[in-house]
Chains A and B, each alone.
Chain A
Amino acid sequence: MVLITRKIEFSASHLYHNPAFSAEQNRRVFGKCNNPHGHGHNYTLEVTVAGEPDPVTGMVLDLKELKEILDREVMQRMDHRFLNYEVAELKGQIPTCENIARVIWELLDPKIKQGRLHRVRLYESADLFADCYRNGAAC
């Protein structure tokens, strides 16, 4: 099995706020991330697909096709958007790295037909990232 990884970058804004919490609780749990008008990040997304290279083309999958899937499912949905208000899949959830990575996994998994989605890694900054794997699969 070979793993192939493609990276894209997008910029988006978000804020952390749980309407079920009091103002004080939101402040305590989420800190500066609770600031009401939100803030932004340059996100880096690494998508890893596992598979066997095709004996004829030598490819696990057509990278151009993966690029188009990432553009359609992630860039058009999230790039230069306010994640809380503009991304339907995140409605009712706190747009943390963990939740965004899972939403991206759920968007991509059914679309990847050649090979199998292995890992979604989303960096919010160089020092913070979330990884999403298929449960039960070796990481």
Chain B
Amino acid sequence: MLMAVKIELGRRYRFAASHRLHTERLSEEENARVFGKCANPYGHGHNYVLEITVSGDVDPATGMIANLAELDSFVEQEVIEAFDRRSLNEDVAAFQDVVPTTENLCIEIFERLKSFPKAKLERVRVQETSNNSFEYAGENGREQL
């Protein structure tokens, strides 16, 4: 039976990391022009806020889409441990050749979390500062945003 409503669960996490926006594919002058201060050679940091949304049936026995402790430990293991207090450029393999913009960070986090076994990952939103945020809902997720 099709339920009348769809329920999603949203959860926020925080991590602090540094990055540098710079690519070998551009000259130094072009890097400076495109990325501005974000291309400064030693990088800089942000307090990132990660918001993830999952959906699924609400289990009548628990009232939950997914057990929060299980969701938290999955996110902790897949994302927070890998990114918190790290240099995204130096410490995360995915950013060896990919510029760690927050757009690309959203995609990397989505890829790391989409295998959560207890609920469907709908989208991730990453807030780089209180003025900038980015969302990704997977390759087919454009209509969900």
Contact = CB atoms under 8 A, between A and B. Distances in A.
Interface of A: 16, 18, 20-21, 29-31, 93-99, 101-102, 105-106, 121, 126-139
A2 to B, nearest CB: 18
Nearest to A21: B61
A119 to B, nearest CB: 10
Contacts of A99: 58, 63
B2 A135 contact: yes
B10 A102 contact: no
B144 A130 contact: no
A109 B107 CA distance: 35
A127 B12 contact: yes
B10 A131 contact: yes
Interface in B55-90: 58, 60-65, 67-69
A130 B12 contact: no
Contact of B9 (A97, A106, A136): A97
Given A93-B63, A99-B58, A128-B68, A134 B12 contact: no
B108 interface: no
Contacts of B53: 131
B5 A98 contact: no
B4 interface: yes
30 contacts: A21-B61, A30-B62, A93-B60, A94-B61, A94-B64, A96-B58, A98-B9, A98-B58, A98-B64, A102-B5, A106-B5, A127-B11, A127-B12, A128-B9, A128-B10, A129-B9, A130-B7, A130-B10, A131-B10, A131-B53, A132-B5, A133-B5, A134-B6, A135-B2, A135-B3, A135-B4, A136-B2, A136-B6, A138-B143, A139-B144
Contact of A101 (B3, B7, B60, B67): B7
A1 to B, nearest CB: 15
Contacts of A135: 2-6
A98 B63 contact: yes
A82 to B, nearest CB: 16
B128 interface: no
A96 B10 contact: no
A105 B5 contact: yes
B9 A20 contact: no
B144 to A, nearest CB: 5
B12 A128 contact: yes
Contacts of A94: 61-64
Interface in B1-59: 2-13, 53, 58
A137 B143 CA distance: 11
